[in-house]
Structures are given as C-alpha cells and as structure tokens.
Amino acid sequence: MKTINSIPHFGDKSEDVKTIQQILAEKGIANLTIDGIFGNQTLKALKKLQEKEGLVIDGIIGKNTMRVMEVELRKYIDHSGKVTLSWDRQGIDRNWTEITLRSIEELFDTSFSKCDDISDFRKDYYSLSKEQRIIVWGELICAMAKFESNWKTICRYQETTQGIDSVTKRPVYSEGLLQLSYQDKPNYHFLQCDFNWEQDKNLKDNDPAKTIFNAQYNLEFGIRILAYQIRRKNSIALSSGLYWAVLKKGGERISQIAAMVNNLNF
C-alpha cells in the first residue's frame, strides 16, 4: 500500500509526489496527470484541497494538510496495511481479498473497465481512481459470495433443474464461495480453471480438501467467468444468459449487493 515517506515540495519529482497526486485524484479534487512531478497542476490541486478542508491555502504540505493525506491513505486499510472488504470483518485471517483484488486487476482493462451498469452498483464510480474502482469490484465479488454461499467455502447446493453434471456424471451441484460446478471447466474451457475432479472424486462431498472448495481456485475462476460475461454483455445485471441468479436484473439481490458496494466509504 502507498505511503508518504518524506514531505514533497514544489518542484520535487518523486514517488511521494505521485502518492500525493493519487490522493488528490481519489478525493475528486482534480483530473491530475499522475507523473510524480510537483508542478503547477499539482500545486493548484493541493490548494483546492486545502480550501475544501478549511486549511491555510498556501500549497505547502504542512502538518494539517498531511493529516488529511494520511486519513485518505488509511481508508480500507487495516493495521497490517492490507485493503479490507466486508468478509474481512469476521475476524478470520484469510487471503480472499488479496486473491480477489489481484484477479480483478489482471482483467480490469480488458473486462471490468468495459462494464456499462457498474454505476448502478456504485453511484460515484466514475469519479473514483482506478485503485478505488478495483476495490469497488472486489466488494461486489464479496457481496455476490455473501448471497451465494454466505462466505462458506464448503457450501453445496443441488441444481435440481440442471440434470447430470457432464464431468462428475452425478447430479449438478454448485459449490464453494461463488457456487461453481465441475462442468463449468469444460463449459468455459477457454478460461483457466484449477478444479480437478479426478483428484476430488474419491473424497467425501463436503471434504474441505476438494479443489472446488479451494478459495483461491473458486474465486479466480468465478471472477474469470464474470469478466467473460462483461466482455460479452457489457453488463453485470442481466435478464437472461447470466451465470449467477443473484445478478438477475430486477431481482432483490441486486439492490442488496448495490447497498454493500455503495457502503464503501471512500
């Protein structure tokens, strides 16, 4: 996570200046070029911030101005310096957020940035920085998992209308955090998936060692499926042709997911 190691001054060029510029952009102060150069554009934006916060408008990063910067840096950051999402509030030490944000960032420019209805889930989305937008998507995935599995990695649900799984040759079950099935692997054969039925088939149905229950495998594959849907449809909520029922357009879960995402306090 970003930190400010030394106080930048007008004319400086450094990573600390770049961090200051990112903070100013994230607070909606100005549409800055994040180039690490403390020039006239950055000075003007800094004075706007000082005016907005009721500080002395001098363009100098003094004690009070730095305090505002530090508050911004701490948002959604826990004591260890990690971004936190809603599922982290359970007090359990796990790496779901890190996995999720990394996966989203890898696909952001080719998929998530193309979505037309994201502002229905986060009203101020287009005023946020790229870093904040990725966190918004992370909370959306977190909310989906909440209503799909209640954040239980070994959650299983029989899909009674889908017949027999083409991989397991057994009734179709949705499993894990994002409620995926073994047959999704061949159905989305063009997406990387680490589920291994040959390894899992001799384990008990609710054995946490199953690859489909592995949080990393489940989240990464689910995020790839969502990214693929967005590349095809440019939308999260769909009336038909969607993977997750919680993303059904007009469904009650849409408003609940949006409420969780809008509750992020940037």
**Tens digit of each residue's pLDDT (9 = 90 or more) over 148-168:** 999 999 999 999 999 999 999
For residue 175, give the 3-state DSSP assignment. strand
- Which pLDDT value is given to residue 154? 97
- How does residue 1 score in pLDDT terms, banded at 50, 70 and 90? very low
- Which pLDDT value is given to residue 20? 87
Q: Which of 165, 159, 151, 179 is nearest to 247 (CA)?
A: 179
Residue 196, token pair as written in the block = 């291994």
100, 223 contact by CB (below 8 A): yes
Report the distance separating Cα 135 and Cα 106, nearest Å: 13
- Which pLDDT value is given to residue 129? 84
- How does residue 77 score in pLDDT terms, banded at 50, 70 and 90? low
Greatest alpha-carbon span in the chain:
71
Q: Give percent of the chain above pLDDT 90.
A: 72
Mean confidence (pLDDT) of the chain = 91
**CATH dotted code for 15-74:** 1.10.101.10
Most confident of 14-23, 125-134, 184-193: 184-193
69, 53 contact by CB (below 8 A): no
Q: Give percent of the chain above pLDDT 70.
A: 93
**E strands present in 132-205:** 156-158, 173-175
- How does residue 245 score in pLDDT terms, banded at 50, 70 and 90? very high
Radius of gyration of the chain from its Cα atoms, rounded to whole angstroms = 22
pLDDT at residue 81 tops 60: no
More confident residue, 234 or 92: 234
Q: Specify the amino acid at residue 89.
A: R
pLDDT at residue 50 tops 90: yes
Taking only the tens place, the pLDDT of each residue in 7-17 is 899 999 988 88
237, 230 contact by CB (below 8 A): no
Residue ranges covered by each domain of the chain: 15-74, 83-266
More confident residue, 58 or 5: 58
- How does residue 91 score in pLDDT terms, banded at 50, 70 and 90? low
Report the distance separating Cα 113 and Cα 178, nearest Å: 21
Count the Cβ atoms, other than its own, within 10 Å of residue 92: 9
Q: Quick one: CA torsion of 251, 189, 100, 137, rounded to 10 degrees?
A: -40
Q: Which residues contact 259 (CB under 8 A, 6 or more apart)?
A: none
156: exposed, middle or buried (Cβ count in 10 Å: 0-12, 13-18, 19+): middle
Taking only the tens place, the pLDDT of each residue in 252-264 is 999 999 999 988 8
- Which pLDDT value is given to residue 211? 98
For residue 37, give the 3-state DSSP assignment. strand
